[in-house]
Amino acid sequence: MFAKLTGKIDTLMTDSLILDVGGVGYHVFASRKTLGLIGDVGDAASLMIETHVREDHIHLYGFASVAERDWFRLLTSVQGVGAKSGLAILGVCAPEQLIMAIAAGDAHLLRQADGVGPKLATRIVTELKDKVQNMNMGAALIASPTALKSKKSASASTEDVQPVTIDQDVISALVNLGYGRTEAFTAVMQVRQKSNDNPSNFDGLIKMALKELAS
């Protein structure tokens, strides 16, 4: 079982490459983003590898980072998402973008990938939302408003729930203004993370979010 391959790029194709490792050419499928990052023919390259063994074939899938490989595994754990669809999604969304898109419930962004229709995009967002919220997101410290709301007890006061409701209302307003849902979600989260005096009303939050979007 291969975990990583390092060698020289022998051939580049639209959806794969041949990596020459000590004179042996490995045919490795990769996302559009990875193929755009690894270099040109003759360059040294190192890829994390996921091996799929089937009755009729053995396919190698290569990734420029551990994060991309892990997202491939996560995406293909969703029913209906095969290796081809997983690579297509990673071709349009970097791992950090996927975290934001799924946390924001932005199925539309996933539909930009070839072969991903509305139903499949919605299923991916629905099935992976809880997993995204439990991820260690490092400095981003992303927390979905929906996740925060779900953690409230049944006896939570109106005051406790209000900030979550405001966040959702502001995100909806920004979407209505023409911003993408992931873009709007990110702006609101950035305001919450950066501001020492977090706005507690709709007008204050949307003004700061619009400023964040304009920066």
Q: Is residue 5 pLDDT above 60, yes or no? A: yes
Residue whose structure tokens are 């194709």: 13
Q: According to the model, what pLDDT value does residue 170 have?
A: 77
50 beta partners: 61
Q: Please check whether the domain covering 66-139 is classified as CATH 1.10.8.50.
A: no
Q: According to the model, what pLDDT value does residue 197 have?
A: 61
Q: According to the model, what pLDDT value does residue 209 have?
A: 76
Q: How confident is the model at residue 150 (pLDDT cuts 50, 70, 90)?
A: very low
Cα-based angle 187, 189, 190 (whole degrees, multiple of 5): 65
How many C-beta neighbours within 10 Å does residue 183 have?
Answer: 18
Kindly report whether the global pTM for this prediction surpasses the value 0.75.
Answer: no
Q: How confident is the model at residue 199 (pLDDT cuts 50, 70, 90)?
A: low
CA distances from 123 to 23, 114, 117, 126, 138 (A): 43, 16, 10, 5, 26
Q: Is residue 147 pLDDT above 50, yes or no? A: no
- Provide the percentage of residues in the chain whose pLDDT is more than 70: 82
Residues 135, 143 contacting (CB under 8 angstroms):
no
Cα-based angle 137, 62, 32 (whole degrees, multiple of 5): 80
Residues 163, 195 contacting (CB under 8 angstroms):
no
Residues 133, 103 contacting (CB under 8 angstroms):
yes
Q: So where are the chain's domains?
A: 4-64, 66-139, 143-215
| Exposure string over 68-93, b if 16+ CB within 10 A, otherwise e | bbebbebbbebeebeeebbbbbbbbb
Give the mean model confidence (pLDDT) for residues 109-127.
92
d(CA 107, CA 76): 16
Which amino acid belongs to residue 36? G
Q: Is residue 58 pLDDT above 60, yes or no? A: yes
More confident: 130 or 28? 28
Residues 31, 91 contacting (CB under 8 angstroms):
yes
* Tokens describing residue 144: 């979905």
- Provide the percentage of residues in the chain whose pLDDT is more than 90: 47
Q: According to the model, what pLDDT value does residue 196 have?
A: 62
Give tens-digit pLDDT for 73-92: 999 999 999 999 999 999 99
To the nearest whole number, what is the mean pLDDT of the chain?
A: 80
Q: What's the half-sphere exposure (Cβ side, CA atoms, 13 Å) at 11?
A: 11
Q: Is residue 148 pLDDT above 80, yes or no? A: no
How many C-beta neighbours within 10 Å does residue 167 have?
Answer: 24
What number does CATH give the domain 4-64? Answer: 2.40.50.140
Residues 140, 94 contacting (CB under 8 angstroms):
no
Give tens-digit pLDDT for 151-185: 333 333 333 334 456 777 777 777 777 777 777 77
Q: Is residue 188 pLDDT above 90, yes or no? A: no
Give tens-digit pLDDT for 12-26: 999 999 999 999 999
